[in-house]
């Protein structure tokens, strides 16, 4: 009997899970992907789009041709309700029954975290980055102080740092470096925490980078309000700006909360190390949609980053377990988020830092940070490789 596998989401985690399952099971499985977006977006490159260094067509491709070529059915629609007890998902394009479900629906911006956040430029989605491009053009016509930041409960610190240092680089190119004040505001307890409790040498390295670029760093801060020309901190201080880019926190998709016992308070699916739902053996969640407990407490709430590499790793684990279940075996593959290796290249315009560690979160046995201009070239190469790999459906490549 052919197993029906339904995947919700077509980004890093959803594409990896769907294509891996189909590759391993072939005719043993009928795999369907339902995605609210009909395009794959290489999110790590959104840091460049506001500065005109990338455009929509440079970092996206249509999903349907890739899935169809690999024998996976693609449906452009949004899931609206998950009914695990009856193995059914309601969507804007009809109702789908399944034997195994993979939830890879990613995130939405929590724009209610701070008053004024809804009107503030950010870079966490393609649409947001394109709006920020317009804001940057207006800034160049009427320059002034700049504030880059990440709010309380934010988790995407890598993008915030990359945009910060790319902003500094662009200010140099525009002849504005040293003429305007550049400030970084973050909920992190220290610059270089990254939402992963730091890395060896991260704190002094970020301090050195900030001093070299003339950046004022405000760590351990929460934002009370964002006005059209002032960022108000919770301690009452005001940071004037002509241009600001603020990274908000993420939440899981709202429709998931309609299903009792499926998600936590952030609308993320609570999972076991197998990435099965805590309650249902045939429901999986991978990527940003999967809940990851924060193993520490900071003075200002700070989230954990869930990026493309760990999302793909989770998806491979889930795919292997579903293949086992379809073949009548126990799902035994496990890889806790905290133990997934950390692999990140932080771009800085014409410089950068490579970060590699054996585990995403402490305790770690091995971790290293390597600064240098070669990392900018490496980031570009990684972008080209990743886009080509995903577009070709070769998700099992490294």
124 labelled catalytic: no
Identify whether the C-beta of residue 343 lies closer than 8 Å to the C-beta of residue 309: yes
| Residue 33 near residue 75, CB atoms below 8 Å | yes
Lookup: tokens for 251: 């939440």
d(CA 378, CA 4): 40
Distances (CA, A) of 127 to 43, 140, 221, 388: 11, 21, 27, 22
Q: Which residues contact 354 (CB under 8 A, 6 or more apart)?
A: 344, 345, 346, 369, 370, 371, 375, 378
CB atoms within 10 A of CB 1: 6
Give just the sign of the alpha carbon dihedral 9, 292, 306, 375.
negative
d(CA 56, CA 46): 9
Count of CA atoms in the C-beta half-sphere (13 A) of 35: 24
Lookup: tokens for 309: 């590499």
Distance between CA 287 and CA 310 in Å, rounded?
7
Q: How far apart are CA 190 and CA 353, in angstroms?
A: 17
Q: Do 3 and 25 form a contact (C-beta atoms < 8 A)?
A: yes
Q: Which residues contact 343 (CB under 8 A, 6 or more apart)?
A: 309, 355, 356
Q: Where are the beta strands (DSSP E) in 221-260?
A: 223-226, 230-233, 238-240, 243-247, 250-251
Confirm whether 272 is a catalytic residue.
no
Active-site hit among 156, 160, 185, 217:
156
* CA–CA separation, 252 and 104 (whole Å): 10
Q: Cβ(314)–Cβ(284) under 8 Å?
A: no
Please state the separation of Cα 240 from the chain's center in Å.
29
Q: 247: closest CA among 170, 167, 185?
A: 185
Q: What is the rounded CA–CA span in Å between residue 203 and residue 383?
A: 27
Which residue among 182, 342, 344, 345 is the active-site one?
344
Enumerate the active-site residues: 156, 344
């Amino acid at each position: 009997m052919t197993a029906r596998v339904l995947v919700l989401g077509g980004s890093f985690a959803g594409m990896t899970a769907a294509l891996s399952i189909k590759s391993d099971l072939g005719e043993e499985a009928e795999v369907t992907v339902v995605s609210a977006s009909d395009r794959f977006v290489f999110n790590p490159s959104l840091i460049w789009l506001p500065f005109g260094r990338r455009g929509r067509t440079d970092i996206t491709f249509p999903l349907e041709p890739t899935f169809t070529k690999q024998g996976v059915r693609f449906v452009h629609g949004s899931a609206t309700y998950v009914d695990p007890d009856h193995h059914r998902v309601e969507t804007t394009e009809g109702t789908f029954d399944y034997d195994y479900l993979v939830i890879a629906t990613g995130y939405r911006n929590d724009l209610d975290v701070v008053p004024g956040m809804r009107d503030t430029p950010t870079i966490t989605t393609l649409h947001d980055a394109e709006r920020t491009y317009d804001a940057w053009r207006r800034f160049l016509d009427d320059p002034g102080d700049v504030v880059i930041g990440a709010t309380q409960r934010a988790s995407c610190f890598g993008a915030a740092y990359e945009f910060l240092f790319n902003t500094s680089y662009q200010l140099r190119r525009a002849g504005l470096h040293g003429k305007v004040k550049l400030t970084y505001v973050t909920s992190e307890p220290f610059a270089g925490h990254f939402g992963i409790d730091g890395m060896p040498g991260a704190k002094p390295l970020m301090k050195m980078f900030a001093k070299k670029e003339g950046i004022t760093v405000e760590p351990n801060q929460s934002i009370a309000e964002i006005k059209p020309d002032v960022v108000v901190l919770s301690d009452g201080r005001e940071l004037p700006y002509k241009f600001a880019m603020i990274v908000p926190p993420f939440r899981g998709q709202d429709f998931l909360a309609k299903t009792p016992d499926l998600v936590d308070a952030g609308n993320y699916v609570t999972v076991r190390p197998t990435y099965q739902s805590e309650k249902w053996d045939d429901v999986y969640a991978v990527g940003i949609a999967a809940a990851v407990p924060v193993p520490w407490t900071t003075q200002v709430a700070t989230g954990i980053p869930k990026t493309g590499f760990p999302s793909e790793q989770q998806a491979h684990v889930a795919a292997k377990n579903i293949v086992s279940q379809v073949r009548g075996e126990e799902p035994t593959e496990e890889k806790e988020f905290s133990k997934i290796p950390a692999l990140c290249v932080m771009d800085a315009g014409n410089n950068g830092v490579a970060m590699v560690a054996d585990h995403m979160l402490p305790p770690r046995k091995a971790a290293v940070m390597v600064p240098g201009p070669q990392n900018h070239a490496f980031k570009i190469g990684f972008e080209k490789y990743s886009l080509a790999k995903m577009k070709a459906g070769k998700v099992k490549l490294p």
